[in-house]
Structure 1
């Protein structure tokens, strides 16, 4: 047996946790990784020595983390369950829920697959004036070296899109060398050039070589959160409500958020408009300026982004727990994609009002909120499903788990025994021929001199 599964490796930690555990009827649950731990006790308690043998064993086993559950009897007899990591569990194990299960490797939620809608009638804003923009920047930057047409063409070839004339004008006025080894080799000179260019333009400016398209890969989000998002672009919107687009060409920042020229605008937008991509948001962007010319002439700092109006979309329904919907009848709509049911304090809900709706792809229901989990079979388009362990068990025992799922989540509350939760997880993984979470049982005694268990 490897050292990770020797009881002696865990004994110092279990002894410490047992002493700090006021409720001896509950299992001791936690996790240890090579870089830290998550334990049911205060971090002020001396745990370094107790976890050291486990962390050494993880390193020897070339493993990163282990979730453990220990049932300890009053007499000190311990049954230790050690769970290993699993590539099918997104972002590693956690307690009490083990983590989101990626049932189909490489899949992402629908919003991360959503491409921009074509807007063939989109044109630049009236304020867009590439000649004026270039002339203004040359006046502000008389000593700057601009990009050549060959360099601009190379950037377009790398990005796979034709850059808007305003962006070309900007880089004809200043190519903005990247500071350091990738630039001229003179870090101080390169950095000074950047600072001068940024003052002239009005934002932290990327070099021509550092332009990139903000595609969806650059806005990662865990399945359990990403699946509850929806791409919605109202008819009066200037910006499409996308996660990313091959037409969002990022050219600068304000030190945290990104600025991009938008080549895939919304129905009321302009080709080449400047948008702000908030680093705290995973979907959508905000109109910052109708044109790059307008922003450079008037100052980036003088612009206030046109904040998106918060309005409930029929694509997403959140029912209960202080949300604006109290029942599923109010949520039923042909465009409904995401349904989240929270604790309501009332009777469990029937899914009948939404059964058969064509676009529902995500359902999350807190434990005990569904009247009949088998009604889920009336939602054949689900790609993500989150339920409590008991609800999952009903589906498993009845052969009713939706086979179109790409990912799943088990919403455990902590009153379930973790071993039972992992059993549900492994039963789900088996349906998709995914590897199970490794589970090893180790037995030992924390108090050999104590009375034997009966």
Structure 2
């Protein structure tokens, strides 16, 4: 048996959990829950606060660290990324530990052992991740694009650089399935941007000089890639809340990825530097955009051409506040609107958040052709059965009670691609095992298997006085 599924591997952590949650565990039906992953963990263990003005030290949590390290090693050995757990323990030390997952149809979640979104169809991805860029047939290159000038300036700045061969350019085009723009070819004819080419006593200074000369951290040609949607893989609970909505005055299409987004470098902060061959209505063919690692959709225009970016540097963009999207509507106590007010043929996403007023009827949005996402906090829906009128629904996030209503009435929309259980928003607490049982009902309705549960029993011994 792998060490991950040996009670002894968990015992050091469970003793700390018991010590920190003695009252909760002793109550009828009491439990504690958490999760441990290869890269992070969240466990209900009380930590010692450092003295005022002093940062927390590893020694302040050494026991927790050692206990988690034991489990992290077991996770690596078992090839498991993360394991949620629930433990019940008597005052005498008899403990029952339940480990959940992993499951191919359940995304990782941090709300409990029921996980994140439940994937209800094979290879299902949110609608924005299925969208291709709109063709802009009259798109032209910027007058500033000049491959010859770009090559001349770069050779002045990097006289000792080593460029790629024509054969390497052809091989890259075959690998990428795309013809590289002349400016990109000119760039790589000057420099292949390989670390081994820095033949100075100060490699970091040489690397910095190269980046400053180009204007960003240039990838080697062998590392250039096309920024397709799967490069921005995002959990359903976030991705389903996005909408593709390019406007006539946009320079960059508001899409997730594109077969025409050639990623040639990095900003130095994790943001992609991309040559854009599928510009927005007001953009230029071959413009340079930045894909932020903090955003899931769209990009920021840096320059109208690679020549302009490298020769003159990125432009100072004037901030332009984006208009409110009719595609996405969020109603809550801070954005108090009505469902009637947001009902629009273009509406794709409706989110009902924390709300102290009367619950909402979905009648105003019934039958809307593009409404694919609905999320609702506890107490926001007047009648959950009205969800049956949302014929285009792909993603549904509801509290336990509303799911129970739909399941009991056999009214869960069969066109769903993914679903989640809403556990925040001030609703009643539910035992983690009840939430796991609910996921099983939803998954089985769509022919998916249940979340695996491993039960381990052991004795932690009497609690210390």
TM-score interval, smaller chain = 0.7 to 0.9
Q: Give yes or no for the alignment of 1:224 onto 2:241.
A: no
- CA distance in 2 between partners of 1:260 and 1:86 (Å): 35
Aligned to 1:175: 191
- CA distance in 2 between partners of 1:141 and 1:111 (Å): 41
- CA distance in 2 between partners of 1:123 and 1:424 (Å): 54
Q: Is the 8 A contact 2:34 2:44 kept in 1?
A: no
- Distance 1:11-1:340 versus aligned 2 partners, 3 A rule: same
Aligned with residue 302 of structure 2, among 288, 308, 313: 288
Offset from partner CA, 1:339-378 (integer Å, 9 cap, x none): 1110111111111111100001111111221111111111
- Distance 1:437-1:188 versus aligned 2 partners, 3 A rule: farther
Aligned to 1:351: 362
> Could you tell me the TM-score, scaled by structure 2's length?
0.83
Q: Give yes or no for the alignment of 1:262 onto 2:266.
A: no
Q: Give yes or no for the alignment of 1:310 onto 2:322.
A: yes
Q: Is the 8 A contact 2:84 2:113 kept in 1?
A: no
Q: Is the 8 A contact 2:224 2:264 kept in 1?
A: yes
- Distance 1:70-1:209 versus aligned 2 partners, 3 A rule: closer
Instruction: Report deviation, 1:284.
Output: 0.7
Aligned to 1:99: 116
Aligned to 1:213: 226
- Distance 1:176-1:393 versus aligned 2 partners, 3 A rule: same
Q: Give yes or no for the alignment of 1:394 onto 2:405.
A: yes
Alignment of 1:38-437 (within 5 A): 38-44=42-48, 46-47=63-64, 65-71=82-88, 81-91=98-108, 94-95=111-112, 98-172=115-189, 174-180=190-196, 195-256=208-269, 257-300=271-314, 303-305=315-317, 307=319, 309-323=321-335, 325-413=336-424, 415-437=429-451
The answer to which of 271-280 and 196-205 deviates more is: 196-205
- Distance 1:52-1:231 versus aligned 2 partners, 3 A rule: closer
Q: Pairwise CA RMSD of aligned residues?
A: 3.4
- CA distance in 2 between partners of 1:271 and 1:51 (Å): 51
Offset from partner CA, 1:228-283 (integer Å, 9 cap, x none): 01111011111100111111112222202222111000001111111111121111
> Could you tell me the TM-score, scaled by structure 1's length?
0.85
Q: Is the 8 A contact 1:388 1:412 kept in 2?
A: yes
The answer to which of 216-225 and 263-272 deviates more is: 216-225
- CA distance in 1 between partners of 2:13 and 2:164 (Å): 62
Gaps of 5+ in 1: 450-454
Aligned to 1:33: 36
